[in-house]
Amino acid sequence: MIRRLSVVSILFAVSGMCSAAAPACQFERLPVGAQKLGAWIDKSNWLALEHQRLTLQYGEVFMPAWRLQPPDKVVPPPARLRPIDDFPALDPLDGRPNKLAFLLDSRLYADGLVVLSNGRLVAERYRNGLQPEKPRLLLEATRPWLNLLGAISMSTGKLAADKAVSRYLPAFNGAAGLRKLSVQRLLENEEAHAWSAEDLRSWWQAAGWVGAQPAAVRPWLMQAGRWDKPLAERQGNDPGAGPDDELLAWLLAESNRQALSRLFCEQLMVRNRPEHPVLWLSDAEGVELAAGLAMSLRDFAKLGQELIEARGSRGRIPAWFIETLTASSGLRSGEIKGLAKGSEARYGFVHLGGTANRVALIGSYGSSLYIDFDQRLVVAIYASYPGANTPSLLATLSEVWKTLRHEIPKRAP
């Protein structure tokens, strides 16, 4: 069984872009902040689950970062948002009828929710100190977007699916283990190297997430014998971070000859421009980290809208990627406990069983993105659920999505 740990477990146990778009993707480098919030939170415990509601909004206090400022134009709020708290829902834990607000607050521990319908903001709620304009760290939920950037890189000829990862990273020419790992296999995200708990802790420290000393992640990745470990299959919907994510981040930057943050911006944020600052945390040398993306909840929702708009259009996101996410499981018996039968992980996203053409990105502790291609509905959630993707959490998310899918279209603002 593969050893993959969540962030908290690790801590504790188209180059074809037009020139006009380029200035909009200029990130500025920020030095590390005071590495302390209040009297009790410092670099040693800032990612403890009990602190995340606060600290995930202040990544730049604890680590160096790259920041993208939004355009000066202020986006006015919609004239009228739809009230959603009283939507009727079914509590998946006791089977009794209740209200959506109860599921969000008492079952999901939701800190914020944004709903887009046909690209328009139709519902929004914030709780527990989540600030609408503050970028919040996605942590493990960054990885699916790296997989998507890899798919875009293949479609533009920067990467070839069947080539070994080491072909594009000269620093790994002597790594025998990576000669067997193809680009396609890395992007599919169905396997990862069998890292020990100690491996993961030392990697996290090398990346600079913990520890007072300046750290650099790439020397850690290049250590002799580092990639000789066997590959093992992921278990269910496992969002746990690992050095494989860092390898992919390096592969994307090297093959596109571009900083990861700028690549992400130019490929996925030009059409749906961010409303609020976007951060990408880095190590001490300025290398963007694979789990370092931070966005406001509205801007996170816009990424889901980007996928909806890519369906049936000839844009940066290749059609085969959207088709792969939405294609029926057919005779395959995909199962993730807590989700509908037929649900299965694909490129770090989850193809949802049951009603067709629905996809989700499920990070740790309930933070998630639901995308309904037929209804053109996006539901973005930041949450602090006290468990990592348990069946109860997934069943609650599923019920929240079902309720919004049913109620939003029939309730005009």
Long-range contacts of 15-19 (CB under 8 A, 24+ apart): 15/156, 15/158, 15/256, 15/257, 15/258, 16/156, 17/266, 17/267, 17/270
> What is the structure's pLDDT at 22?
45
Cα distance between residue 68 and residue 165, in whole Å: 29
Distance of alpha carbon 186 from alpha carbon 242, whole angstroms:
12
- Between CA 362 and CA 48 the distance in angstroms is 19
Structure-token pair, residue 324: 């792969």
Rg (CA), the chain: 20
Are the C-beta atoms of 235 and 387 separated by less than 8 Å? Answer: no
Give whole-number Cα distances, 141 to 31, 118, 238, in Å: 24, 24, 11
Work out the burial of residue 103: count CB atoms within 10 Å of its CB; fewer than 13 is exposed, 13-18 middle, 19 or more buried.
Answer: buried
Strand partners, 42: 36
Q: What is the pLDDT of residues 192-250, one digit of tens each?
A: 999 999 999 999 999 999 987 778 999 999 999 999 999 988 765 565 789 999 999 99
Q: Quickly state the pLDDT bin for 11 (edges 50, 70, 90).
A: very low
The yes-or-no verdict on residue 20 having pLDDT over 60 is no
Average pLDDT, integer, range 349-372: 96
Compute the average pLDDT of residues 45-61.
96
Q: pLDDT at position 79, please? A: 55
- The CA-atom distances, in angstroms, between 138 and each of 75, 290, 369 are 23, 10, 11
Q: What percentage of the chain carries pLDDT values higher than 90?
A: 79
| Residue 75 pLDDT grade (very low, low, confident, very high; cuts 50, 70, 90) | low
Nearest one of 411, 400, 402, 304 to 355, comparing CA atoms: 402
Section 364-372 average pLDDT: 96
CA dist 206 and 215 (Å) reads: 5
Q: Return the number of other C-beta atoms located less than 10 Å from residue 238's C-beta.
A: 19
Which position has the higher pLDDT, 211 or 125?
Answer: 125
* Torsion region of 95: left, alpha or beta (phi above 0 gives left; psi -120 to 50 gives alpha): left
Asked if residue 17 has pLDDT above 90, the reply is no
Nearest to 329 by CA among 313, 353, 350, 310: 353
C-alpha 359/C-alpha 62 separation (Å) is 33
Angle between helix axes 197-207 and 243-256 (nearest 10 degrees) is 40
The residue to which tokens 């996928």 are assigned: 307
pLDDT by residue (tens digit) across 285-320? 999 999 999 999 999 999 999 999 999 888 899 999
Lowest mean pLDDT among 161-165, 283-287, 409-413: 409-413
Q: What is the pLDDT of residue 215?
A: 81
As a whole number, mean pLDDT of residues 37-66 equals: 96
Residues constituting the chain: 413
Q: Is pLDDT of 7 > 50?
A: no
Alpha carbons 166 and 247: distance in angstroms, whole number? 10
* Burial category of 12 from C-beta neighbours within 10 Å (exposed 0-12, middle 13-18, buried 19 and up): middle
How high does pLDDT run on average in the chain? 90
Q: What is the pLDDT of residue 12?
A: 41
Q: Assess whether pLDDT exceeds 80 at residue 16.
A: no
pTM above 0.85, yes or no: yes
Q: Is the pLDDT of residue 21 over 50?
A: no
